[in-house]
Structure 1
Amino acid sequence: MSDQVDTRSGALRGFLAAGGARNGGLVLALLLLCVVGWVTAGDRFASVQNLVVVLGLAAITGVLSIGMTFVITSGGIDLSVGSVLGLASVWASTVATQSMAREIGWIVMVVCALAVGLGAGLVNGILVAYGRVVPFIATLAMLVAARGLAELIANRRTQLVDVPSFEAAFRGNVLGVPKIVWIFAAVAAAGWFLLARTTFGRRTVAIGGNVEAARLAGIKVKRHTASLYALAGLTSGIGAVMMLARTDAGSSTNGTLMELDAIAAVVVGGTLLAGGRGTIVGTVLGVLIFTTLTNIFVINNLNSSVQAVAKGAIIVAAVLLQQRFAAREGASGA
């Protein structure tokens, strides 16, 4: 009998260690928000059409948040993902790029956006890993530089997309769901597999937990760190393609403050700001929680300032809970 009790308690500890309880709490929070939305707005919130709207709004921020999860799990931060998205959207929608896309195909615009995002992310990674610049400073510099370069390229004008093949490929729905939502789902699935099921993910967690121990274990910390920022830049490029598909326009203002939404979603989702633990499932739930909250405020015509206060309170509560869980885990480990 005692063996059965020990087995059950061990399984429970394993469940908690795997983050099941945290994800369960996030699901509960999301369900409670849905109840609030249904009570306050009725069918306007509970309709299938509104659900599609929520998913569409969550998609771009969600893709940025996937890349951000890897960076924060390693103990870093990337403040530039929103600005890099704006730069990539502008570069991919210039007259020259669109002219090539009309002749060759939509792939030209996609490759351009991904290359710009990957390049900017790689610059961040090199500065942080090899230049030993503090991540906050390196990515803050990229935030400013990328936004300024986007303004120079676009001359502070909105560049309309006029490539029929691009619009056909990325606009519209599949099975009643916007294509950008399917892209988000694919990126989230790939991110989950990469973080939870590959050596790359285990190395990311190890670096976030203890850089020196990771180095002594044979992990090439600098190269891996640079690749993480490059990955975050790549997700910014993907987000730029999605932004072009959703708005049909490239603008230097695209992605403004999205880095803050991404960081908030990652933190609320359960990824430790100090590094060493990350969860893609939690990040997706965090994105959905914030998007649903925004949707409820918009439907009920509530003050956006109150919405900002509510988001701030959620972030503070999430960080406090993280500290409490970390303290308990440290005590139990001791």
Structure 2
Amino acid sequence: MTQSTTPAGHGTPATPLAPVPAGKSAAHRPPGLRPDVRTLSLLGVLAVLVAVGGVTRPDEFLSVSNLQLVLTQASVIGVVTVGMTFVITSGGIDLSVGAIVALASVWATTVATQEYGFAGILFTAVAVGLGCGLVNGLLIAYGGMVPFIATLAMFASARGLALQITDGKTQIVTVESVLDLGVKDAYVLGIPPLVLVFAAVTLVGWLLFNRTTFGRRTVAVGGNAEATRLAGIDVRRQRLYLYLLSGLCCGIAAFLLIVLAGSGQNTNGNLYELDAIAAAIIGGTLLSGGRGTVVGSVLGVLVFTTITNLFALNNLESAVQQIAKGAIIVAAVLVQHRALRGD
């Protein structure tokens, strides 16, 4: 007998289930790996990487200062990845995140901006991120542009504007209250302030994604935008909010990068878009939309950052590092496809 069902949280209309082959029930064909399995798998990968680091460079890799460095380096791209997770889950993409980080960082470190001190730098970085996110959202949600094209245009424009502002030069930060956040005296119980900000963004992102209507609507839009619209949800407004959220995360990441580097450069955020997308994918977020996980994305960031750190400590070529990252991405996508087919 044919049944009808609606996947929970996706907002898709009831559709007939395909006949289930003998000996295989529908319960044995989940739409992807369970969240706990994905999380445990990524934790297992991290454990292996830590073990490798402990064997190859025990004194350097397992030192407190190196672990602090790994978490600090993960903080900037991690904040960007949280915003990217929401966008990809909705069925979109944002290729401009790296360029937005660059633009926000150089705009916030101009001489005129630094005259307003800590508050001026922070406000400018966040405002520029939100402004770029607003433009992306309006073009995609209300202008009908494909996300790939709209964010690619923003990528080119933001990079060009960042280069024009700096004239190709590095802008040194002279505001002591900003620079002080990067020194060890500012650490809280041995934890760098940048890591605390990353943890706070992750927590807020998790709550927003898993415990609010906003998160459920994001999944619904990615699962079936037309059905979501027919259910009475304003899909265009939701998409606008998502790109605003991505821009906000870019603005916060730009400020963290300013603290970390002590300067603003037009080359900041190079390839951040690829790293954020890759981290989200290996974390379990579907590139086609309809499913995402903030925790998985953050673990993906930690995996990539740990790999980078291991390669640096072992003096291995960056080319090999990129090959390893590429292999991990391919493996993650293959696992997703296999799980979705229920093989």
Same fold (TM over 0.5): yes
Contact map agreement 1:52 1:178 (CA 8 A) in 2: yes
> Structure 1 residue aligned with 2:68, among 30, 46, 52?
52
> Structure 1 residue aligned with 2:333, among 306, 309, 319?
319
Q: Does residue 1:97 correspond to 2:113, yes or no?
A: yes
Contact map agreement 2:279 2:304 (CA 8 A) in 1: yes
**Which runs of structure 2 are paired with 1:1-334 in the superposition (5 Å)?**
18-101=34-117, 106-169=118-181, 171=183, 172-328=186-342
Contact map agreement 1:88 1:237 (CA 8 A) in 2: yes
Given residue 93 of structure 1, which amino acid in structure 2 is its aligned partner? T
Query: How far, CA to CA, are the matches of 1:121 and 1:293 in structure 2?
Result: 30
Structure 1 position 17, deviation (Å): 6.7
Query: How far, CA to CA, are the matches of 1:169 and 1:286 in structure 2?
Result: 26
Query: How far, CA to CA, are the matches of 1:112 and 1:53 in structure 2?
Result: 26
Given residue 36 of structure 2, which amino acid in structure 1 is its aligned partner? G
Given residue 126 of structure 2, which amino acid in structure 1 is its aligned partner? L
Contact map agreement 1:170 1:242 (CA 8 A) in 2: no
Structure 1 position 198, deviation (Å): 0.4
Task: Note the alpha carbon deviations across 1:221-255, whole angstroms, 9 max, x for none.
Answer: 00100110111011000001000100110111111
Query: How far, CA to CA, are the matches of 1:191 and 1:280 in structure 2?
Result: 7
Given residue 272 of structure 1, which amino acid in structure 2 is its aligned partner? L
Contact map agreement 2:283 2:296 (CA 8 A) in 1: yes
Contact map agreement 2:88 2:285 (CA 8 A) in 1: yes
**Larger relative helix fraction:** 1
Query: How far, CA to CA, are the matches of 1:58 and 1:165 in structure 2?
Result: 22
Structure 1 position 100, deviation (Å): 2.2
Given residue 58 of structure 1, which amino acid in structure 2 is its aligned partner? A
Contact map agreement 2:81 2:277 (CA 8 A) in 1: yes
Is the deviation greater in 112-121 or in 317-326?
Answer: 317-326
Partner of 2:20: none
Task: Note the alpha carbon deviations across 1:272-309, whole angstroms, 9 max, x for none.
Answer: 00100110110110000001111110000011101100
Contact map agreement 2:76 2:257 (CA 8 A) in 1: yes
Task: Note the alpha carbon deviations across 1:148-198, whole angstroms, 9 max, x for none.
Answer: 001111111111111123233565422212111111000000000000110
Given residue 167 of structure 2, which amino acid in structure 1 is its aligned partner? N
Query: How far, CA to CA, are the matches of 1:295 and 1:304 in structure 2?
Result: 11
Query: Which runs of structure 1 show a deviation greater than 6 angstroms over 4 or more consecutive aligned residues?
Result: 11-14
Query: How far, CA to CA, are the matches of 1:315 and 1:141 in structure 2?
Result: 26
Cα distance change on mapping 1:170 and 1:295 into 2, 3 Å: closer
What SS class does the counterpart of residue 285 from structure 2 fall into? coil
RMSD: 1.9
Structure 1: runs of 5 or more not aligned: 1-10
Cα distance change on mapping 1:189 and 1:13 into 2, 3 Å: farther
Contact map agreement 2:105 2:268 (CA 8 A) in 1: yes
Q: How many residues align?
A: 316
